[in-house]
């Protein structure tokens, strides 16, 4: 059974937008979070700041009306790289990473957009490699899926509909990031009271990762490759072509067998992997 988390960090970006197609690149203009202890059933702390967009610095009237974020709010705000650094420091200050940098929490979002789409787009716009971020920013719990596990007959999973289904009233302004975070936190606590398990539901798609240079070793032979997609099936296929035999097993730099896609997301460039055909010795 997947691990369940007893601490979650609610995250709900607000970004540049317009009544039609959003600006390209779309940029974060509000970066809020709320730390929730599901074990203690309480909100522990919150983080929030506006963010100054640099590619399209002028907010549309539609964006201000939707989010209530004003031009003067973003003009006086730090840029995304500085906000991201402050957010990481806030997480670390709450002891949410262990001594090896592994997360002791999961991000909780209302949908997949914040971390599947918006964060990679914003990082690319700011020149920040997505792989430089702690793993926690590349996997998450979608509250809508937790809600549907508990309220099985629900017909819709908008935030307002979920609040209504659980007998909660909207607090603050919808589409204002920090207010949405607090409302999502209230939903999480209500679902926890109903026995919900908070397990990871999503992770960053392989298409968002950069091409990965690797060394493959089979016996005494070493070949350099470039892995375009961080899928184990792609790696096995590429290795089979390089060594002209069907490769069935891959061992990472730490000596552990790579049996799914997850370890490939964390591999640093130029890692050396050992590969084995069906008849090769296992050592």
Closest C-alpha among 40, 200, 15 to residue 108: 200
Q: Indicate the pTM of the whole model.
A: 0.92
pLDDT digits (tens, 9 = 90+) for 229-262: 999 999 999 999 999 999 999 999 999 999 999 9
Q: What residues form DSSP beta bridges with 35?
A: 9, 45
Q: Is the pLDDT of residue 1 over 70?
A: no
Q: Which residues are identified as catalytic?
A: 14, 175
The bridge status of strand 202-203 relative to strand 42-50 is unpaired
pLDDT digits (tens, 9 = 90+) for 182-222: 999 999 999 999 999 999 999 998 889 999 999 999 999 99
Closest C-alpha among 111, 125, 99, 96 to residue 24: 125
Going along the chain from its start, the domains and CATH numbers come out as 7-203 (3.30.420.10), 206-277 (3.10.20.10)
Query: How confident is the model over 120-135, as a mean pLDDT?
Result: 95
In the chain, alpha helices (H):
61-67, 71-75, 80-93, 113, 119-126, 143-150, 159-165, 177-193, 232-243, 262-266
């Amino acid at each position: 059974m997947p691990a369940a988390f007893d601490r979650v960090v609610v995250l709900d970006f607000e970004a540049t937008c317009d009544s039609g197609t959003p600006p390209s690149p779309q940029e974060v203009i509000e970066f809020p979070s709320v730390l929730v202890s599901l074990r203690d059933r309480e909100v522990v702390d919150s983080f929030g700041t506006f963010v100054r967009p640099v590619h399209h610095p002028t907010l549309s009237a539609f964006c201000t009306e939707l989010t209530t974020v004003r031009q003067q709010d973003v003009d006086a705000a730090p840029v995304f790289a500085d906000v991201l650094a402050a957010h990481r420091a806030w997480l670390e200050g709450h002891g949410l990473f262990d001594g090896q940098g592994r997360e002791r929490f999961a991000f909780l979002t209302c949908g997949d957009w914040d971390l599947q789409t918006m964060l990679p787009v914003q990082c690319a716009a700011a020149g920040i490699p997505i792989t430089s971020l702690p793993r926690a920013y590349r996997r998450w719990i979608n509250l809508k899926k937790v809600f549907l596990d508990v309220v099985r007959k629900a017909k819709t999973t908008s935030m307002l509909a979920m609040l209504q289904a659980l007998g909660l009233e909207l607090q603050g302004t919808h589409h204002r990031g920090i207010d949405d975070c607090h409302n999502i936190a209230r939903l999480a606590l209500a679902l926890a009271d109903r026995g919900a398990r908070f397990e990871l539901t999503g992770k960053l798609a392989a298409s968002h990762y950069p091409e990965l240079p690797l060394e493959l070793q089979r016996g005494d032979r070493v070949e350099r490759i470039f892995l375009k997609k961080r899928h184990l099936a792609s790696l096995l296929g590429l290795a089979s072509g390089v060594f002209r035999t069907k490769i069935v097993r891959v061992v990472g730099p730490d000596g552990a067998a790579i049996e799914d896609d997850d370890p490939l997301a964390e591999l640093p460039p130029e890692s050396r992997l050992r590969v084995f055909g069906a008849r090769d010795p296992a050592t």
